């Protein structure tokens, strides 16, 4: 059985009600802003992770291409050595092979360095902490 005190009307002054309503609205707005910033941060990080994955795949493919090219060049050199008829031919072929390999390795190193710098710029770009 309800007692008399339970049925007494509860009155909140209008100023207090208005203050409470404003506080709830401000808290809701702040929370929504926080959630939006968190979603933006996650999307940015996902984009950077995808860029890194694509960059790593490209680097792997380039490295394999370079390795195949270098091995093919080495086999070509070996084939030429087999057919060399004089020591002068061997020395000349060796010099040509070493020069070609140095040029190729220099080009490959430059290419990989350029790719790494491009990936570094792409990976460091978008994310800014809220």
| Rounded Cα–Cα distance for residues 88 and 12 (Å) | 107
Render 61-98 in DSSP notation, one character per residue: HHHHHHHHHHHHHHHHHHHHHHT--SHHHHHHHHHHHH
| Rounded Cα–Cα distance for residues 101 and 88 (Å) | 20
Question: What pLDDT is attached to residue 38?
Answer: 86
- Token pair for residue 85? 């008829």
- Token pair for residue 106? 């220099």
Chain-centroid distance, C-alpha 33: 27
Chain-centroid distance, C-alpha 36: 22
Model pLDDT for residues 19-54, shown as the tens digit of each residue: 888 888 998 998 889 888 888 888 888 877 787 788
For residue 91, count other CB atoms closer than 10 A to its CB.
11
Going from the first residue of the chain to its last (130 residues), give the mean pLDDT of each consecutive group of 10, the final group possibly shorter: 62 83 89 87 81 82 90 92 90 94 92 84 55
Question: What pLDDT is attached to residue 6?
Answer: 60
| Rounded Cα–Cα distance for residues 88 and 83 (Å) | 12
Question: What pLDDT is attached to residue 46?
Answer: 82
Decide: 124 and 42 in contact? Cβ < 8 Å. Answer: no
Q: Where are the alpha helices (DSSP H) in the chain?
A: 14-82, 87-124
């Amino acid at each position: 059985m309800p007692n008399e005190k339970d049925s007494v009307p509860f009155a909140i002054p209008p100023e207090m009600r208005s203050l409470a309503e404003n506080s709830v609205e401000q808290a809701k707005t702040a929370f929504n802003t926080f959630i939006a910033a968190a979603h933006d941060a996650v999307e940015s990080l996902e984009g950077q992770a995808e860029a890194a994955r694509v960059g790593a795949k490209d680097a792997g493919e380039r490295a394999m291409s370079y390795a195949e090219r270098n091995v093919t060049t080495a086999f070509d050199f070996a084939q030429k050595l087999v057919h060399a008829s004089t020591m002068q031919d061997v020395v000349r072929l060796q010099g040509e092979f070493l020069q070609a390999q140095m040029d190729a390795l220099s080009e490959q190193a430059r290419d990989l360095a350029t790719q790494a710098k491009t990936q570094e710029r792409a990976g460091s770009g978008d994310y800014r902490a809220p």
